[in-house]
Amino acid sequence: MSDGRIFIKSPSINMLSNTIISVFLTLASVMGSNGPENVMDCRFDRLSDRTSSRQNIFYVANQPDAEPVEASTLSESPAEEHGVRERCERFTMKNQGLQREYYLYRPKGLKAGAPLVIVLHGYGGSALKGKKAMMDVADKNGFAVCYPQGIKDPKGKPGWNVRYPSQEGMKTDDVKFLIALSKELQKKFDLSPKNTFLTGMSNGGDIIYLIAMRAPRAFKAMASIAGLQFNWMETEYSYKHPLPFMEVHGTQDRTSEWLGDPENKGGWGAYIPVPAAVSRIIAVNGCTEEYVTELPRRDGRNQVTLYQFKAGKPAVKGGRPTEVWLYKVEGGDHSWSDKDMDTCSEIWRFFSHWVD
């Protein structure tokens, strides 16, 4: 490809079952026979068990024996706050008896009915420190960007309610809030109800998995960055409807572990491995084709490999078949991975496939 990407077409989805199973066999050997059953319950009933010539797509080679990082505030750059504060308009809305705050960026000359991208900050973060690079992408592609502010938990840390132990006692339903926010933005600022997208990092990515279960039709497509599917989510909900979905995740992320944290050593709550979470979404989408692309490697940075799972069921009748994209950042940490790739541009590249 002209941008230096190395492209490999896999003939079918068959390799997915084998490569994910390789991860779980590795996990089983590490955990021993007493490992939690839910970790091994990957629900591969919709995937073939045929062998593949290309193994271990999701395997993390030579992973150090390290404990997950304990739950804490995630640092964000002051430069991001400077960009959002200067370029966005501040608004408030009432929801569930609370005054909620959000910042909206509308590029000059934005057309009526333009697409909308909502960007969620991480735990302990701020709307003012939302990724300003998304505004630059919006300038080039003609869409609005909204940065909502999370509510503080009992420990004073702002975020999105996904039932972290620190969020115990919170009554706020952020799934309902984000849906209400999208509708207000569409109506108040003449933005497209059919082309509203959602992305977020860390805690902002976690709630995207919850929305994918509870309200899969609320957004046209969703992109999680370093997000997680917690065990409790699958106890109460399930993926029931096809939806375009994207995940970006570093294999050396010690806050949101690539291989999961079934024993809650990190303090966020027990969660399943990233490959297992993605496989569930691939299954509900009914994807039958896989394409592997190595992104051009930046000097001194981590290799990023994109796995595209295609030919899924349409999310709406007569619509385009859904896809699931997974960006595996080999050696990547808990971040937007924007030093390893142009993350915001890649998010919009994915979203743009679904713009009507």
pLDDT, residue 311, reads 87
CB contact set of 222 (below 8 Å; sequence gap of 6+): 197, 198, 199, 208, 211, 212, 243, 244, 245, 246
- Per the CB < 8 A criterion, the answer to whether 248 and 205 are in contact is no
Longest dimension (CA), the chain: 61
| 345 DSSP assignment | H
Give the pLDDT confidence of 69-80 residue by residue, as tens digits.
544 444 445 556
pLDDT, residue 317, reads 86
pLDDT, residue 6, reads 62
Query: Facing residues of 201 across strands?
Result: 225
- The matching CATH number, chosen from 3.40.50.1820, 3.10.129.10, 1.10.1740.10, 3.30.470.10, for 6-352 is 3.40.50.1820
For the chain, the domains span 6-352
Cα→Cα distances 297→96, 305, 342, Å: 46, 10, 11
pLDDT, residue 7, reads 59
pTM, rounded to two decimals: 0.85
Query: Facing residues of 103 across strands?
Result: 90, 147
Give the pLDDT confidence of 283-295 residue by residue, as tens digits.
999 999 999 999 9
CB contact set of 33 (below 8 Å; sequence gap of 6+): none
Which residues does the chain have with pLDDT short of 50?
1, 11-12, 14-15, 17-56, 61-66, 70-76
- Per the CB < 8 A criterion, the answer to whether 182 and 219 are in contact is yes
pLDDT, residue 26, reads 43
pLDDT, residue 316, reads 85
